Amino acid sequence: MTDPPSLYRAVRTANTLLLAAAVALVLDQSVASALSRISLVPHWRSDDRTLVVVDKTGDSSWNEASRHAVTTFSRSATGTGLQLTWTSGSGPCKSGGSRIEICQEPYQALGDDMALDREGLTDLRLGPDRKQAHIGGTSIIVCSNCGLQAPRRRIVATHELGHALGLEHNRRLSSLMFPSGGTDKPDEQDVQALRDLYAHADAEDRCGFFDVVVGPFCL
């Protein structure tokens, strides 16, 4: 027969093990939630898909290129909920809200690794939601001193706008999202990738069982 002190110790041990298991489960789910957000491809949430592309380059050739990019993606975005319009502006680029602003900088500002051959760069930032990888703001920088001709500018502008909408690089030479930008319009697989990216309904943005954030973890 188990004496009371031994029974007490057994119950206390069982409770400790249950608590440890519960904590481990919560941490495991929170880590999984954090990792799943990282692994998701960034995209615009359902309520933020009416986007204004603001060209602040002050350069007529870049204006033409960015208008081309907007027109091209407007035609390709059927079924995604994305609605893009173009306008010009002035001043420094800012990231935030449903605006994609385009500015130009010398190539030295686009990265110090010349092997990257950067002619454009997209600064894409996630929004405040905690697990759905929604875009909270983005801006595009294009090269001011690379000596790019009009056809190349259209390729660069459209490639970077693809990034601003959430498309990633791939290795197809026919793709707009080939790393160095091989074409100035999406191929069929690019269009399908865009439709797949936006073919979902936003979930409720809860963080863990208790909807509580502790550092990078959801509890």
Which domains are seen in the chain, by residue range?
4-41+204-218 (no CATH), 46-197 (3.40.390.10)
Instruction: Give the pLDDT score at 122.
Output: 94
Choose among 137, 170, 133: nearest CA to 41.
133
Q: What is the pLDDT of residues 164-208, one digit of tens each?
A: 999 999 999 999 999 987 899 999 999 999 999 998 767 655 555
Q: What whole-number percentage of the chain has pLDDT above 70?
A: 71
List the Cα angle 210/211/217 in 5-degree steps.
Answer: 100
pLDDT of residue 90 exceeding 60, the answer is yes
pLDDT of residue 28 exceeding 50, the answer is no
Question: Picking from 4-8, 132-136, 160-164, 190-194, which range would have the lowest pLDDT averaged per residue?
Answer: 4-8
Burial degree of 138 (CB within 10 A; 0-12, 13-18, 19+) = buried
Q: Token pair 């865009």 is at which residue?
A: 194
Instruction: Give the pLDDT score at 35.
Output: 36
Of the two residues 18 and 105, the one the predictor is more confident about is 105
Which range of 12-21, 108-117, 137-146, 180-189 scores highest in mean pLDDT? It is: 137-146
pLDDT of residue 9 exceeding 70, the answer is no
Of the two residues 138 and 111, the one the predictor is more confident about is 138
Instruction: Give the pLDDT score at 61.
Output: 97
Instruction: Give the pLDDT score at 180.
Output: 82
Q: What is the pLDDT of residues 33-85, one digit of tens each?
A: 433 444 478 999 998 999 999 999 999 999 999 999 999 999 999 989 999 99
Q: What is the pTM of this model?
A: 0.75
Choose among 47, 33, 14, 27: nearest CA to 130.
33
